[in-house]
């Protein structure tokens, strides 16, 4: 587990440190304070310097451009990686560093813009995806991959095909799961669910969904005739016909995605953007109890964001009702202009709630 994390020159952060990290960490702050950027930096750090999280970051944010061929029969999508760097500039010498202190020792990932080297074997990995010879490259160094270089245009564009061409993770790589604000699509959920079927975690996921809808008995996915689509159905107590999961509301689907992602992150890291999305405030204490218990059982470290006062107050309720669980939770408030997050323990959150003190920033 990470005990501390330091971010330098990544996206809007000149420097930022998070200390006193616990098993479950809630990151709060105002809009555009950088909460999602922190999750992205942790994803890159925990992935050990692999290309995939670096390229998924701009894709999630819509930092992309699509070009049609002259005959308009094919298209190519490029990712704009300029925004990963402080000041949104891509030039030789630009870089960002991500570092963390773990129980096993320090880890660091660095990404720098360098001059392209056409003879490099690493560049040959993806060079044929560019239309012209690149003049720049992104060079990544981390514990999982050292010296990987990725061609990038002078405008800061990288072809999305690079995601399919990177080397596989090392045998010792930990699981890193990222659940964005949009949740997980049905196909992704099915792929993750298929790996849990007929394992002890299948029953754990169903039990988690019952926190939102107590009548759920079973869950199944079916493939539609249309290629690449799938639909989730549930069996409800007292109902003869299956019910589409979507009929139960966004909260049930969100909780399913959270439960499956936790199970898939066993022994690793789970990152959740806006963890309370789609959930009624009356279910948030149950959500935190489930997250902490599951994270303990599966040895997962959780980093989540929220700007909801109800989400923070639910931690105060958890501290009041179950302090042994709440001891594994901390809140980290970030503000523009501060180079370190302000840390609150669950006990301090309870005190703040009793005195109506705002901790969200």
Q: Which of 25-39, 145-159, 274-288 has the lowest mean pLDDT?
A: 145-159
Give the pLDDT confidence score for residue 216 in this predicted structure: 92
CA distance 360 to 104: 32
**Is position 349 within any domain?**
no
**CA-to-CA separations, 279 to 128, 223, 265, 284, 311, in angstroms, rounded:** 46, 27, 22, 7, 10
**Does residue 33 sit within a domain?**
no
Q: Measure CA 262 to chain center.
A: 11
Q: What angle do CA 235, 237, 243 make, to 5 degrees?
A: 30
Flag whether 329 is in a domain. no
Query: Is the pLDDT assigned to residue 129 strictly greater than 70?
Result: no
pTM beyond 0.85? yes
Residues comprising the chain, all counted:
361
Residue 102 within any structural domain of the chain = yes
Q: Which of 241, 264, 139, 100 is nearest to 189 (CA)?
A: 264
> Does residue 255 fall inside a structural domain?
no
Answer whether residue 275 is part of any domain. no
Backbone angles phi, psi at 93, to 5 degrees: 105, -20
Q: What local confidence, expressed as pLDDT, does residue 15 receive?
A: 96
The 10s digit of each residue's pLDDT in 28-41 is 988 888 999 999 99
For residue 255, the 8-state DSSP code is H
User: From CA 109, how far away is CA 17, in angstroms rounded?
Assistant: 15
Q: How does strand 329-333 pair with strand 24-28?
A: parallel
Per-residue pLDDT of 209-260, as tens digits, reads 898 889 998 988 887 555 556 788 999 998 888 888 888 888 888 889 999 9
Please compute the mean of the pLDDT values over residues 168-197 and round it to a whole number.
Answer: 82
pLDDT at residue number 31: 85
| The pLDDT of residue 168 | 63
What is the structure's pLDDT at 352? Answer: 72
Q: How far is CA 308 from CA 72, 279, 291, in A?
A: 45, 11, 17
Cβ 197 vs Cβ 189: under 8 Å: no
CA neighbor of 25 nearest in space, from 44, 9, 38, 7: 38
CA atoms within 13 A on the CB side of 211: 23
What does the pLDDT read at residue 221?
87
pLDDT at 53 over 90: no
Q: Is 201 part of a structural domain of the chain? A: no
Residues 183, 189: Cα–Cα separation, whole Å: 9
Q: What is the mean pLDDT of residues 52-77?
A: 74
Q: Please state, in angstroms and rounded to a whole number, the distance separating the CA atoms of residues 71 and 289.
A: 55
Q: What is the mean pLDDT of residues 336-358?
A: 79
Q: What pLDDT score was predicted for residue 188? A: 82
Where residue 292 falls among pLDDT bands split at 50, 70, 90? Answer: very high
Q: Is the pLDDT of residue 262 over 70?
A: yes
User: How far apart are the C-alpha atoms of 42 and 2, rounded to whole Å?
Assistant: 10
Task: Give the residue carrying structure tokens 């490099």.
Answer: 120
Distances, alpha carbon 172 to alpha carbons 141, 169, 175, 228, 329, in Å:
17, 8, 10, 31, 27
Sign of the alpha-carbon torsion through 57, 48, 99, 151:
negative
Cα–Cα distance measured from residue 83 to residue 245, given in angstroms and rounded to the nearest whole number: 37
What is the tens place of the pLDDT at every residue in 309-340?
888 889 889 888 998 888 899 999 999 889 99
Structural domains counted in the chain:
1
- Domain hosting 113: range is 48-63+77-171
Task: Read off φ and ψ for residue 17, nearest 5 degrees.
Answer: -125, 145
% helix, strand, coil for the chain, step of 5: 35, 30, 35
Lowest mean pLDDT among 47-56, 82-91, 169-178, 287-296: 169-178
The percentage of the chain sitting over the pLDDT mark of 70, rounded to a whole number, equals: 83
DSSP code for 70: T
User: Is 103 a domain residue?
Assistant: yes
DSSP string for 182-236: T---HHHHHHHHHTTTTSHHHHHHHHHHTTT-TTEEEEEEEE-SSTT-EEEEEEE
Between 114 and 75, the more confident residue is 114
């Amino acid at each position: 587990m990470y005990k501390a994390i330091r971010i330098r020159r990544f996206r809007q952060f000149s420097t930022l440190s998070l200390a006193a990290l616990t098993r479950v960490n809630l990151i709060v702050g105002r809009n555009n304070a950088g909460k999602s950027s922190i999750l992205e930096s942790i994803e890159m750090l925990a992935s050990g310097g692999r290309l995939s999280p670096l390229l998924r970051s701009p894709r999630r944010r819509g930092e992309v451009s699509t070009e049609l061929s002259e005959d308009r029969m094919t298209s190519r999508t490029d990712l704009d990686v300029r925004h990963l760097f402080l000041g949104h500039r891509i030039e030789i010498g630009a870089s960002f560093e991500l570092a963390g202190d773990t129980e096993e020792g320090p880890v660091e990932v660095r990404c720098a813009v360098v001059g392209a080297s056409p003879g490099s074997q690493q560049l040959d990995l993806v060079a044929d995806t560019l239309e012209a010879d690149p003049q720049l490259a992104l060079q990544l160094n981390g514990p999982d991959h050292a010296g990987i270089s990725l061609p990038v245009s002078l405008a800061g564009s990288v072809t999305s095909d690079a995601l399919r061409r990177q080397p596989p993770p090392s045998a010792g790589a930990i699981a890193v799961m990222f659940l964005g604000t949009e949740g997980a699509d049905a196909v992704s959920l099915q792929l993750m669910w298929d790996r849990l079927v007929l394992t002890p975690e299948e029953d754990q996921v169903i039990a988690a969904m019952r926190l939102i809808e107590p009548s759920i008995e079973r869950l199944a996915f079916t493939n539609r005739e249309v290629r690449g689509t799938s639909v989730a159905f549930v069996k409800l107590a007292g109902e003869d016909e299956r019910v589409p999961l979507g009929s139960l509301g966004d909260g049930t689907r969100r909780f399913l995605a959270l439960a499956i992602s936790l199970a898939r992150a066993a022994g690793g890291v789970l990152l959740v953007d806006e963890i309370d999305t789609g959930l009624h405030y009356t279910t948030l204490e149950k959500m935190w109890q489930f997250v902490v218990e599951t994270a303990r059982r599966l040895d997962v470290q959780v980093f989540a964001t929220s700007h909801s006062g109800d989400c923070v107050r639910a931690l105060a309720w958890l501290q009041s009702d179950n302090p042994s669980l709440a001891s594994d939770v901390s809140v980290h408030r970030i503000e523009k202009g501060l180079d370190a997050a302000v840390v609150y323990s669950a006990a301090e959150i309870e005190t703040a709630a009793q005195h109506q003190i705002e901790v969200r920033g």
